Amino acid sequence: MPLIDLTGIERVFTLGDSEVHALRSLNLAIEAGEYVAIMGPSGSGKSTLLNLLGLLDRPNAGSYHLEGRDVTTLSADEQARVRSERIGFVFQSFHLVPRLTAEENIALPMTLAGIAAGERKTRVAQALKDFGLADRAGHRPDQLSGGQRQRVAIARATIMRPAVILADEPTGNLDRATGEEVMRLLEELNQGGVTLIVVTHDTVLGARARRQVAMEDGAKVRDES
């Protein structure tokens, strides 16, 4: 049974009186522990696909099974619960809450999930150590470098021990060396068993993945390992 199973996905946006097919009859199956790069130029539908995979958006047609469960029919709150427990997001612009410290940003998913403060503290302390941020715990995002910010974001994405990490251009706002460092970090997590899906238009970055899915005009044009 694949971790992610998309069949016949359609996503149509209405812009004025014209309809835009962001995704058309898409089939995709991803096994647990895979490292997949979804590539394509802007407007190819790769971001829409990522949003669908992250349950932030619903398809107009087709079905999405996550860990064998049909998640397209779930209510908004049930989807929120799935996001909280099974999916971790890493964004291009980090999306850290500016007024919270690194520590509090990492703890945010656990706070939202209602996990007790004591448990949060030990898990955050461990994450800070694992990601080399122990001496940055009390710093706010504007006191951190770009690489450190993205490491905080990755720590936050993994703190709930999700099954899959969805990374949207994770190196887009970083210089080459820092980007390399962040990618190594994500790949290490993948080696630890987490499914990693990276969306990028950068072919060099995409080439690092074991499997590449190329998109064009909302359709899958190439899928090779």
Q: Which residues bind another protein (CB under 8 A)?
A: 51, 54, 56-57, 76-77, 80-85, 87, 89, 91, 93, 95, 97-100, 108-109, 111-114, 116-117, 156, 160
Measured CA to CA in angstroms, residue 61 lies from 8, 78, 217 at distances of 7, 20, 17
Tell me how far, at minimum, the Cβ of 79 lies from another protein, in Å: 9
Q: What token pair was written down for 211?
A: 């499997």
Q: How many CB atoms lie within 10 A of CB 136?
A: 20
Tell me how far, at minimum, the Cβ of 159 lies from another protein, in Å: 10
Q: Which is nearer to another protein, 31 or 78 (CB)?
A: 78
Amino acid at 68: G
Tell me how far, at minimum, the Cβ of 54 lies from another protein, in Å: 7
DSSP 109-151: HHHHHT--HHHHHHHHHHHHHHTT-GGGTT--GGGS-HHHHHH
Q: What token pair was written down for 173?
A: 């706002």
Q: Which is nearer to another protein, 80 or 219 (CB)?
A: 80
Q: Which is nearer to another protein, 36 or 107 (CB)?
A: 107
Tell me how far, at minimum, the Cβ of 219 lies from another protein, in Å: 20
Tell me how far, at minimum, the Cβ of 99 lies from another protein, in Å: 4
Q: Which is nearer to another protein, 69 or 222 (CB)?
A: 69
Q: Which is nearer to another protein, 11 or 220 (CB)?
A: 11
Measured CA to CA in angstroms, residue 195 lies from 88, 98, 113 at distances of 10, 29, 22
